[in-house]
Amino acid sequence: MQKKSIILIIFIILILLVMGYVYFIWEKPQKQVNEQLVNISIVANNKLLPDQNIEINYEIVGSNFSFSKPGKTLKGGDILEKLPFNRSYIIKTIFTENETYYFYSKEFNTFSLENQRVRLSLDKSGELEIKGKGFLGIDNPLNITLTLKRGEEYRNPIYCIDGGFHLFNLKTNNTQIIKLDEYKLWNYCYELNSINITNNKETIYIYYELWASIDDKDYLNISIMDRDLIDENYVYNSVGGKDYNFIFEF
């Protein structure tokens, strides 16, 4: 019996020694490596002006783990972030009201302990020139031409229309979009191609019917906007490209 007890004690000691060896030789060093931080410098610029840094709000989130760290880039240089080693991340821009750059996101990782730089090259929204043609109650269809006046792109635009008292059955040459909460103030909204250097002009044709004689209560209002919005308690504010409004009046 005493011999069996001695053997059991020796066996337990051997197990503890093996566990200690595994921990100190492999697990502890690996844990220390995983807890190391990697220096990530972050800078943002206008894609057309790569040498000029800009200020933009951003958030770093974990690709497949819970992590969130907000920040803001600097005009005067890079901003330094220290992030856990051996992880994958996504950095994305955070809109503030009156923001004029389009949304941007980028994946990066810290699989190496070497310092690295993450550059956010952002697209600034282009400016449009709006010209209408036709007279309400006389011409049908009316048309509006949107031309890229400045910049590279007016991205993912939509337009919404609303008619006055005697107008009904409004139609256009574009596809009507499904009613969305963001545009609930409008009756009709339509998709439009991005307007850019390659496709620098889009023309909208608006057809309508009258159920009675037109008068000074009648109008046709068209709002052009891109789809970059920020949601503030279900109040949607436009950011990115400038919104445009054009009215045909009697």
How does DSSP assign 53-79, residue by residue?
E---EEEEEESSS--EEEEE--SSS-E
pLDDT at 120 over 60: yes
pLDDT at 224 over 80: yes
Please report which confidence band the pLDDT of residue 28 belongs to, taking 50, 70 and 90 as the band edges: very low
The more confidently predicted of residues 121 and 28 is 121
Domain with CATH 2.60.40.2190 in the chain: 34-122
Rounded-to-integer distance, Cα 61 and Cα 88, Å: 9
pLDDT at 38 over 50: yes
- Give the mean pLDDT of 32-51: 84
User: Would you state the pLDDT for residue 52?
Assistant: 87
User: Would you state the pLDDT for residue 63?
Assistant: 92
Helix locations, 104-246, DSSP H: none
- Average pLDDT along the chain: 82
User: Would you state the pLDDT for residue 199?
Assistant: 85
- Give the mean pLDDT of 228-245: 61
- Give the mean pLDDT of 50-72: 92
- Give the mean pLDDT of 198-208: 90
- 127-249 maps to which CATH number? 2.60.40
CATH of 34-122 among 3.50.30.10, 2.60.40.2190, 1.10.10.10, 3.40.50.1000: 2.60.40.2190
The more confidently predicted of residues 112 and 183 is 112
25 Cβ partners below 8 Å, 6+ apart? none
Please report which confidence band the pLDDT of residue 218 belongs to, taking 50, 70 and 90 as the band edges: confident
- Give the mean pLDDT of 100-109: 89
Q: What percent of the chain has pLDDT over 90?
A: 38
Rounded-to-integer distance, Cα 117 and Cα 40, Å: 6
User: Would you state the pLDDT for residue 163?
Assistant: 83
Please report which confidence band the pLDDT of residue 235 belongs to, taking 50, 70 and 90 as the band edges: very low
| H or E element, residue 3 | helix 2-22
Rounded-to-integer distance, Cα 169 and Cα 220, Å: 12
